[in-house]
Chains A and B, each alone.
Chain A
Amino acid sequence: MKIAVNHLARIEGHANLVIDSARGQVRELRLEIVEAPRFFEPMLKGCHYSEVAPIAARICGICSNSHTLVSLEASERALGIEVSEQTRQLRRLLAFGEILQSHLVQLYFMALPDYYGVASILPLVHSERALVHHALELKRLANDILRVIGGRPVHPVTPVVGGFTRLPDAAELMDLRRRLVLVLPDLEATVEIFAGLDYPDFEREVTALSLLGDGDYPVFGDTLVTSGGRGAAVADFRDLVEEYQVPWSTAKFARMDGRDYMVGPLARLRNNHDRLSAMARQVAEALDVGPATANPYRILPARLVEVVHGVERSIHLIDDLLLAGLQEEELPAPDRFGAAVAVIEAPRGLLFHAYDYGDDGRIRAADCIIPTAQNLASIEADLRLRVPQVLDLGREDLTRQCEQLIRAYDPCISCSTHLLRVDFD
C-alpha cells in the first residue's frame, strides 16, 4: 500500500506525508518538507540592531511575538542592555498572549475537526454553535492581549530593543483582567470538550527538552533541562543539539546525543509540572497529562493545560503591573557590540536566536534553531512505530491517524525552513 498526502492540511506550512508498506512492513516513511526556503539568516546579515527584530518576526506569523521577544533578548545581551522589571513583565504577558492565541488556533481550528470528523471548523458554525462561540471568545481575548501590549496580533510594533515604544493604559489592562475572568466558563467548557475526545492509544518513550522554570513555568530562562534530569546552560545549546540534513526536506532535522527528542507543550509540562498554576495543575490531572505522559496524541491536552496556565498567570501579571503602576521609561542605549544567545519557550517549543554584532551595530552572523526543526525527527520516529500498528485499519483511517499525530505536534513548517544555520565570514 502506498499513501501520499501532498500539502498536508491544517498545519502551518507545506509538507507531504509518504508511506510505502508491504505485507505488514513499512518500507518507506517520510515527512517531506516542501516549503520554499526563505533564507532569513542571510537577510539578517548587515542589519542594524533596530531592524533585526521586525525582520526576524516575519519568519513566522503565528509566533511572530516569540521571534520578536527572543530576538530582542539576544540583541540586548549582545549590546549589554539591561531592561527594567516592568519591561520583563510586559514581555511575559505578551508571550502568554501569543501562547494563548497560537494554542487556541491549533486546538480548535487545526486539531478538533479530526475528532469531529469534519474538514474544518467551518461546518461546526451551525452544528456546534456553543463550541465555536467558546473558540472565538477565547481567541478574541488572546488577540486583544497582543493588541494592548504589542500593538497588533501579527508582527508586533511596540517591543523594541531596550523596552517598548508605548505602554498600555491602566484602563486597558483592567479591561483585559476583567475579561480574563469572564472567559473562565468558556475555558471550562473547552476543558470538557477536550476531556471527552478519544485520543488514540499509543506510546513511545522520547526525551523531552525544555527550559527549566525559575520558580515559574518557563517562558524565558538560562537553563535547559531534559526529562532525564540533565541540565545545560542556554549558552551551550549549540553543543547539546546537532542539526542534520535529509534529502527529502528543505528544513534541517535536529538530534540530541544522536537521538530524536521532543520540544513544546508536552515537553515543558513533563519537565515543569510542579511549576504549573494551581488551576492548570488541576486541569492536567483531569485531562490525564503529567510528567510520565508518553502518548504524543496527548500533546493536545498538554497544550490546553498551558492555555489554562496562561490565563491564570496573565491575571496575576496584570495585577502586579497595576499595583506597581506603569512608568514611562527612557530606552537604554547599547554599551558594547558583541555576541550573545537567547532562548524562549515559543508556543511550539524552544526557540533559539544567536547574533554576533560588529562595531557598527550591524549583524555579522546570525543563527536560529526553530522548535519544529527539533520535533521533525520525533514525528517521523512516532510514525514509524505507529504505522505498523494500524496498517490493518485500511488506507483512510491509517491516513487520518497519521495526520492527527503530525498535527498534535503543531508543526510550523514556514518557521523550520526559514531558519538554518549559516556562518558568515
Chain B
Amino acid sequence: MKPRVGFFDFASCEGCQLTVLNLENELLDLVELMDIIEFREISSETGGELDIAFVEGSICRPEDVRRLRAIRRRSRLLIALGACADTAGINALVSDRPEAELVREVYGDDPELMPAAGHPRPLSAFVQVDGRVPGCPIDGQEFLAILQALLIGRQPELPGFAVCAECKLAELPCTFERGIVCLGPITRAGCSAHCVAEGDRCRGCRGMVDEPRSGPYYRILEEHGLDLDAIREQLRTFNLAGEVKK
C-alpha cells in the first residue's frame, strides 16, 4: 500500500508548502509514490490515519495546540516543514514584546474584538517531532531527499557543518571581503549557500549548527570583530526564538 501523507499549516506564509508544489519536475512521480490524503491548500479531501504528516507554521493559540495534537494522534511520523514549524522562524521576531501589547497595538482595546494570541512557538514545544526540514523557505531538493529517507524507513539526517563549507566548495567570494556580515559561519548547511550564490549574504534562515562556537568557521566572525551582542542582533530575523548558543 502506498504511504499516506498529509500537509498541514499553522501560522505561516504557506511558502514551504508552495515550494513543494513548485517541484513541477517531480510532482507526477510524487503522486505515484504516495497517497496525498490531505493538503488543504490544493485539496478538499480530509481525514484518516497518516504515515507522514508534514506540518508548516508556528503554534500561537490554544486552538492551534488542539489541532496540532489531533494531527499528531493520527500520524505515525510528524515532520516540521520549514523554519516557522522548526524554530518559530521569522514569527519569533515579536517574541521580545509582551503578547498583550502586540494584540492591543494591532486590534485595539475592545476585548470582544481581541483574538487570543500568544508568542509563536515551534511544534516541538507541544508534540513529539520526528524530523525537520529547515529553511525559510525549505529547499525543494532537500525536502525530496528527506521524503525519500522517510519512505524507505531511514531517519533523515541534516548536515552538521556550516553554510561556509558549502560556500567554499562552490568557490564563492566571501561577503566579508566586501565588508558585509554573513551568518554562514554558524548556520546549518544544506542549501548550497544559496543566497551567497545569488549575490546576497546568508541571513541564517536554516537555524544554527549544533556547536556554533566550536565549528571551524566561527573564527571568521571573531576575526571581523563581531561580539556576542553583534551576532545576536544579526540573528534576530530568523533565530530570535533560539537563544544564541554559547
The A interface, classified by DSSP as helix, strand, loop or mixed, is loop
A73 touches B (CB below 8 Å)? no
Q: Which of A105, A136, A155, A420 contacts B137 (CB 8 A)?
A: A155
- Give Cα distance in the complex from A136 to B23, angstroms: 9
A120 / chain B contacts, CB cutoff of 8 Å: 36, 39, 42-45
- Give Cα distance in the complex from A164 to B200, angstroms: 9
Q: Which of B91-99, B147-155, B158-166, B211-219 contacts A (4 or more CB under 8 A)?
A: B91-99
- Per-position contact with A for B59-73: 1 when CB-CB < 8 Å, else 0? 011011000000000
Q: Which of B122-130, B182-190, B191-199, B222-230 contacts A (4 or more CB under 8 A)?
A: B191-199
| Pair A125/B28 contact, Cβ less than 8 Å | yes
| Pair B25/A140 contact, Cβ less than 8 Å | yes
| Pair B42/A155 contact, Cβ less than 8 Å | no
A250 / chain B contacts, CB cutoff of 8 Å: 115
A361 touches B (CB below 8 Å)? no
| Pair B198/A158 contact, Cβ less than 8 Å | yes
- Give Cα distance in the complex from A414 to B90, angstroms: 14
A60 / chain B contacts, CB cutoff of 8 Å: 13-15
Q: Contact size class for B?
A: 35 or more
- Count contacts between A and B, CB distance < 8 Å: 167
| Pair B198/A154 contact, Cβ less than 8 Å | no
| Pair B22/A143 contact, Cβ less than 8 Å | yes
| Pair B13/A165 contact, Cβ less than 8 Å | no
**A156-183 residues at the B interface, CB under 8 angstroms:** 157-158, 160, 164-166
B243 touches A (CB below 8 Å)? no
A219 touches B (CB below 8 Å)? no
A237 touches B (CB below 8 Å)? no
A152 touches B (CB below 8 Å)? yes
**B1-49 residues at the A interface, CB under 8 angstroms:** 10-19, 21-22, 24-25, 27-28, 31, 36, 39-46
Q: How far is the CB of B111 from chain A (nearest CB, A)?
A: 11
A105-B21, A120-B43 known; A160 vs B200 contact (CB < 8 Å): yes
B244 touches A (CB below 8 Å)? no
List residues of chain B with CB under 8 Å of any chain A CB.
10-19, 21-22, 24-25, 27-28, 31, 36, 39-46, 57-58, 60-61, 63-64, 90-91, 93-94, 97, 102-103, 105-108, 110, 112-113, 115, 117, 120, 136-137, 194-195, 198-200, 203, 237
List residues of chain A with CB under 8 Å of any chain B CB.
7, 9-13, 34-39, 41-43, 51, 54-55, 58-62, 64, 105, 109-110, 113, 119-122, 125, 132, 136, 139-140, 143, 151-155, 157-158, 160, 164-166, 245, 247, 250, 414, 418, 420-422, 424
Beyond contacts A11-B41, A42-B94, A62-B15: 10 other A-B pairs, Cβ-Cβ < 8 A, are A37-B11, A37-B107, A37-B115, A39-B94, A43-B90, A62-B14, A151-B198, A155-B137, A158-B200, A247-B112
* 17 A/B residue pairs, CB under 8 Å, sorted by A: A36-B57, A36-B64, A37-B60, A37-B103, A41-B105, A58-B15, A119-B43, A122-B31, A139-B22, A151-B194, A152-B194, A154-B15, A155-B136, A157-B200, A414-B14, A422-B105, A424-B105
